[in-house]
Amino acid sequence: MAGTGKTFVAAPFGRRLAEKISERGALCAGIDPHPGLLDAWGLPRNVSGLEKFALSATEVLAEETAVIKPQSAFFEVFGAPGIAVLERVISHAREAGALVLLDVKRGDIGSTMDAYATAYLDGHSPLAADAVTVSPYLGFGTLVPSIELARAQGRGVFVLARTSNPEAAQQQNALLPNGKTVAQSIVDEVGTMNAGAEPLGDVGVVVGATVTPGELDLSGLGGPVLAPGFGAQGAGVRDLRALFGDGLAGVLPASSRDLLRRGPDLAALRAGVREIQSSIM
């Protein structure tokens, strides 16, 4: 693969994330160019509308939050031009000082997973993000090479563990022969990968903010938690504290459509970010 001349990041992702949360707060702002949001912003459902929406949102969110989370699928539907917009979002967010968590949920085996890791975690790739979401459901071991590549480049991964969609419960809460749920086994695997890391490990988990408190033991995780479901899916600050404790250390409440609907007025969007930030501090 041809290089782009980008430099590699030396500092571990977990340390960079902890510093950024301390500086800007814990909110993770999603950039989801959903067709309904394009409509709400008065934009056409084409690449021009995508570009206006995504770059305008990035202009505000990347200045106000520790982490922005572009949802790759909404860019991919526009083909190569959409991917080009995603590359610009990643670049602009970095320039504004935010970390980029690219929501791609990739999970595969062998050379295919290696290719995904190279696309999203190798500093020579124009799509390289500070961290990505990955799926462990072809076996946690399939993720290890990606985790190793991420660490070598100062990047991170967030592993799907207990997601917020109702359909997930049957599989993720299924009991294994050792008596643990599938979700708990994933959390424990991640905890092993983070052993000894300070202040946060480079491997996080995705645990929906709407999950029932007590389902998971996160005490040995040692890494960050991405908590989707905050806002539009019904979870509030009380739910976050009930699930993750009062400190919310290393927890990234994620808000996407609930936040983005405050546009296209960028001043209103900025005010919305600050309102949500203050509520979770």
Exposure class string for 223-238: b at 16+ Cβ within 10 A, else e: bbbbbbbbbebebeee
DSSP 214: T
Token output for 275: 């309102």
| Amino acid 232: pLDDT | 61
Token output for 110: 């062998």
DSSP 252-278: EEEESHHHHTT-S-HHHHHHHHHHHHH
How far is Cα 123 from Cα 9, in angstroms, rounded to an integer? 8
For tokens 């021009």, name the residue. Answer: 48
Catalytic residues: 105
Question: Which residue ranges form the domains of the chain, and what is each CATH number?
Answer: 13-280 (3.20.20.70)
For tokens 């462990």, name the residue. Answer: 136
pLDDT in tens, the chain (281 residues): 334 434 455 699 999 999 999 999 999 999 999 999 999 999 999 999 999 999 999 999 999 999 999 999 999 999 999 999 999 999 999 999 999 999 999 999 999 999 999 999 999 999 999 999 999 999 999 999 999 999 999 999 999 999 988 899 999 999 999 999 999 999 999 999 999 999 999 999 999 998 999 999 999 999 999 999 876 656 777 888 888 987 667 999 999 998 999 999 999 999 999 999 888 87
Q: Is 18 left (phi over 0), alpha (psi -120 to 50) or beta?
A: alpha
**At residue 173, what is the residue type?**
N
| Amino acid 5: pLDDT | 39
pTM above 0.85, yes or no: yes
How far is Cα 252 from Cα 234, in angstroms, rounded to an integer? 16
How far is Cα 221 from Cα 241, in angstroms, rounded to an integer? 17
**At residue 169, what is the residue type?**
A
- Would you say 252 and 26 are in contact if contact means Cβ atoms under 8 Å apart? yes
